[in-house]
Amino acid sequence: MNGEPPTAPDIAGTLHASTLMRTLGRVRPLFHSEADFQFAFAQAVVAADPTLEVRLEVRQSAERAEYVDLACWSPNGTHTLIEFKYATAGWDGTDSHGEAFTVRHHGAYDLTRRYYIHDVHRLERFTAAKPRITGLAILLTNEPSLWNNTGRPGARDANFRLHEGRTLGGHLVWGTGTTPKYDQDLTGTYSTQWQDYSMVDDGPRGRFRWLGLHISPILAT
């Protein structure tokens, strides 16, 4: 199934995202911002495999001003395009290395779901019919409502939920269907499998988890 963590390396054909995130979680248990997360991830990729090339904010089309957060590629030309979301609940404190953090409270997690699924849709387009290019959409959060099924059945984001064990695919309707500009179509089918990232304290917002959906060029055509 498209979206499930592959058994083969899923970053430029040489690295596993789950292994990389596990390593990153030990040295950077949380981040100041999404840009901080992107940069740290790129550094971790190069540290894990110095033969890989990485670039931030790479334009994907000469006709449209569309960018991908991170592009990684190996010497043999295998590419992985990565999009990041860092949707946090407010947290103040110091990490295990003594660095102080004041993490922003984002709120509006229904929009987080919508924007994340839009990232998956964009990666499907960017990788379509390109057998050597894969995609990876990463969401890192300390907001439990994103991995738990706690939403109201009639909420506008009901079809965009990302809780553990959800299957995503096809035409996703936002709200009642009266605002179709926010609907989303996915070519692939994706199973949400959350993984632990770090534990910065024992409080309700001290646990960070992440979701990675993997976009295959074979199914994204």
Which pLDDT score, from 0 to 100, does residue 71 have? 97
Within a domain: 1: no
**Whole-number pLDDT of residue 1:** 43
Q: What is the pLDDT of residue 6?
A: 56
pLDDT tens-digit series, residues 109-118: 999 999 999 9
Q: The whole model's pTM is what?
A: 0.92
Q: How many domains does the chain have?
A: 1
The Cα–Cα gap between 148 and 161 comes to: 9
Domain with 186, as residue range(s), is 17-215
Tell me the mean pLDDT in the region 174-203.
89
Is 10 within a domain?
A: no
Residue 131, pLDDT score: 83
Asked if the structure places residue 7 within a domain, the reply is no
The DSSP bridge partners found for residue 85 are: 139
User: Which of 51-65, 130-144, 146-160, 166-180 has the least mean pLDDT?
Assistant: 166-180
pLDDT at 219: 44
Is 4 among the domain residues? no
Give the long-range contacts of residues 148-153, CB within 8 A, separation 24 or more.
Answer: none
Would 11 be classed as within a structural domain? no
Q: Do residues 221 and 128 touch, judged by C-beta distance below 8 A?
A: yes
pLDDT of residue 181: 74
Do the domain assignments include residue 220? no
